[in-house]
Amino acid sequence: MKNKNNNSQAVTKADFLMLLADLKKFAIKAELKKTEKSLRSEIKNGNRLLRQEMLKVEERVENLEEGQKRMEKTINKISIQLDGFVGNVGKLTEENVIATDHYRDHEKRIAKLEASTQQV
């Protein structure tokens, strides 16, 4: 079929070969399918690895939670023992104050007795 436009040039064999070389630079359907399959495989592998890591993290979190519960129990026991200890120290301090007052009163009475016996 002849081109009706007089200004157009005929396609030469060199032009056709250049066009063919340019077209070869583009991916063909088979290459795209191969790339798609490869990408899908990589995504599946990545998802599997992510699930494995998530399970590891969940296990670590569970271990930490168990450790935290044990630590809380231990802290509660220590707190109860400290409460008893502080209560005992408070009682001892109170007894010490009473004994000190009693001792001072005793010293005063002895001093009075000594003074009264020296006058006689």
Q: What is the pLDDT of residues 11-30, one digit of tens each?
A: 788 888 888 888 777 778 88
Q: 35 and 27 in contact (C-beta within 8 Å)?
A: yes
pLDDT score of 81: 93
Q: Give the residue extent of every domain in the chain.
A: 13-119
Question: Each residue of 35-86: pLDDT tens digit?
Answer: 999 999 999 999 999 999 999 999 999 999 999 999 999 999 999 999 999 9
Please choose, from the candidates 110, 91, 111, 87, the residue with its C-alpha nearest in 3D space to the C-alpha of residue 99.
Answer: 91
- Euclidean distance between the first and final Cα of the chain, in Å? 161
Q: 39 and 31 in contact (C-beta within 8 Å)?
A: no
What are the E-state strand segments in 7-110? none
> What's the predicted TM-score (pTM) here?
0.47
